[in-house]
Amino acid sequence: MKRNGSHPLHLSSPARATAIEVLAEMREQGTWAREALDQALNRRELSSRDRRLATELAYGVVRQRITLDHLLESASGRRCGHIQPPVLDVLRLGLYQVLYLERVPPAAAVHETVSLARSLAGKKAAGFANAVLRSLLRMVVIPEQNEPMPGDPRFILPCPAGRCVRFNRPLFPSPDEDSAGHLALTQGHPRWLVERWIQRFGRDVAEHICRSNNETPPLCIRWRGSQDIPPSFQPVPDLPGMFIIPHAGRVTDLPGFAEGRLVVQGPASARSVQALQVRPGMEILDVCAAPGVKTVHLADLTGPTGRVVGVDNSFQRLGKLKENMTRLRIMNVSSLVADATQLGSWLRRRFSRILVDVPCSNSGELTRRVEARHRLRPGDLEALMGLQSRVLESASQLLMPSGVMVYSTCSIEEEECPGIVQSFLARNPAFDLDGEQWFFPHDHAGVGGYAARIVRKTGGKP
């Protein structure tokens, strides 16, 4: 049943066919969503409208997979694991349109879904898809718009932008009896992760985080320089040079892209760089640097008289960093393929500033890394913590006395953030904590993370 991803499907709806290709590529090859989408879009000449729809469908299905599978099992009477994977992809796509996209009429969504199922798996699969979706449609009472969720929450599916869908039977657990189960199934998050957040933040904040993770994030960029900023760019408060681009199409079509004037960069990333307080002429080490977004930012801040060394353990990922440096005509960056836990074996010099942006769970960036919620397992945190601790220890050995090191993550888990920093400080009295900051998705445009500013004491052993 496997389909060769290099040959695009030819169907009446190119956006839906593209989304199906993305889902298949992720399932069959383990490709990350962003990479799979870029590849699929590059294979097709789509209008701007179809590109936006394909992106919304592919990312939306991945974000809401837990909710979609729960409802499909309720309607079909089958476990999703017993449905042919290509047919399951199609069913998820069709149901996502019915529930979450107001602009797509339910009849059109069902028709396109059945056509996709027939093209991919034959007549029998098309009949099954038709029966399942129509069964679900019979359960829907009415979609509500721009009003609070009415009635019994067991009957109601909250949707982005204040919408909700009401069913004629209870399809979800009661939030009073099973708070984590209700949030997990209505907001498309793993139960174990929701339980962690409820225990730490309380149910209301946990719900805000989950809802924020399911919103389509705005495009955020950094403008290199202070001149000729397009008037449509909206400044990000407290982050000079950072802007939100409303209704962005292709990044490559934005004014200033071809000239190297802008870089796509999230607010949490920019805040981590800001915490380093870089000055012109400084020598900076960027650990785990690829693909180089923060490296570019550091290079711009230290200027032509400074130097940035970008280290990553992936030759392929460093290739992307080098591509970015070439496109942006940056000359003050050098790159090194090295093990970040053994930096002293590769580098002999010391740095006045070090950025340590460690591999993490990405639990603060689930809106952008849409597949991360499904790949992450409870046991992963312990393994990540060991790696994070070793990378921070390794980087600290290269920091000059009175130098500044920022430890940052895209996680909102205590163990990966202050837990790592406090453990490091307890082992290394030559360092002090000079401030830390949390970013949570519901307060920072869908982006969460953590940054700690660590200073080596004057006279601390280098």
Residue 190 lies in a domain: no
Q: Which of 351, 281, 279 is nearest to 310 (CA)?
A: 351
2 has a pLDDT exceeding 50:
no
Model pLDDT for residues 217-260, shown as the tens digit of each residue:
888 999 998 788 888 899 998 889 999 987 767 888 888 888 99
Contact 309, 286 (CB under 8 A): yes
Residue with tokens 């090859």: 29
Q: Please check whether residues 236 and 259 belong to one and the same domain.
A: yes
Model pLDDT for residues 87-113, shown as the tens digit of each residue:
999 999 999 999 999 888 888 889 889
Residue 170 lies in a domain: no
8 has a pLDDT exceeding 70:
no
CB atoms near residue 186 (< 10 Å):
27
Residue 208 lies in a domain: no
> 97 - beta bridge partners?
none
The stretches of 202-266 forming alpha helices (DSSP H) are 203-213
Residue 165 lies in a domain: no
Q: Please check whether residues 259 and 354 belong to one and the same domain.
A: no
Range of the domain at 435: 265-456
Token pair for 341: 């836990």
Contact 419, 447 (CB under 8 A): no
How many domains does the chain contain in total? 3
Residue that finishes a domain, picked among 119, 141, 163: 141
Residue 191 lies in a domain: no
Token pair for 180: 């984590």
pLDDT of res. 109: 87
In this structure, the strands spanning 234-235 and 262-264 are unpaired
pTM over cut 0.75: yes
Q: Please check whether residues 241 and 313 belong to one and the same domain.
A: no
Q: Residue 399 maps to which CATH number?
A: 3.40.50.150
Model pLDDT for residues 305-326, shown as the tens digit of each residue:
999 999 999 888 898 899 889 9
Distance of CA 275 to the CA centre of its chain: 22
Q: Please check whether residues 241 and 299 belong to one and the same domain.
A: no
pLDDT of res. 145: 54
Cα gap 83→97, rounded to integer Å = 20
pLDDT confidence tier of residue 331, bands split at 50, 70 and 90: very high
Helices (H) and strands (E) in the chain, counts: 16, 14
Q: Please check whether residues 346 and 390 belong to one and the same domain.
A: yes
Q: Please check whether residues 274 and 422 belong to one and the same domain.
A: yes
Q: Residue 108 maps to which CATH number?
A: 1.10.940.10
**String of b and e for 97-115 (b: at least 16 CB within 10 Å)?**
bbbbbeebebeebbbbbbb
pLDDT of res. 460: 52
pLDDT confidence tier of residue 1, bands split at 50, 70 and 90: very low
Q: Please check whether residues 31 and 102 belong to one and the same domain.
A: yes
Residue that finishes a domain, picked among 115, 141, 167: 141
Residue 200 lies in a domain: no
Residue 176 lies in a domain: no
Q: Please check whether residues 225 and 122 belong to one and the same domain.
A: no
Q: Please check whether residues 306 and 447 belong to one and the same domain.
A: yes
Token pair for 405: 């090191």
Q: Please check whether residues 232 and 332 belong to one and the same domain.
A: no
Q: Please check whether residues 391 and 352 belong to one and the same domain.
A: yes
In this structure, the strands spanning 283-287 and 351-357 are parallel
pLDDT of res. 119: 87
272 has a pLDDT exceeding 70:
yes
Q: Please check whether residues 432 and 339 belong to one and the same domain.
A: yes
Residue that finishes a domain, picked among 122, 141, 160: 141
Residue 214 lies in a domain: no
pLDDT of res. 31: 92
pLDDT of res. 366: 95
Lowest mean pLDDT across 172-186, 248-262, 408-422: 248-262
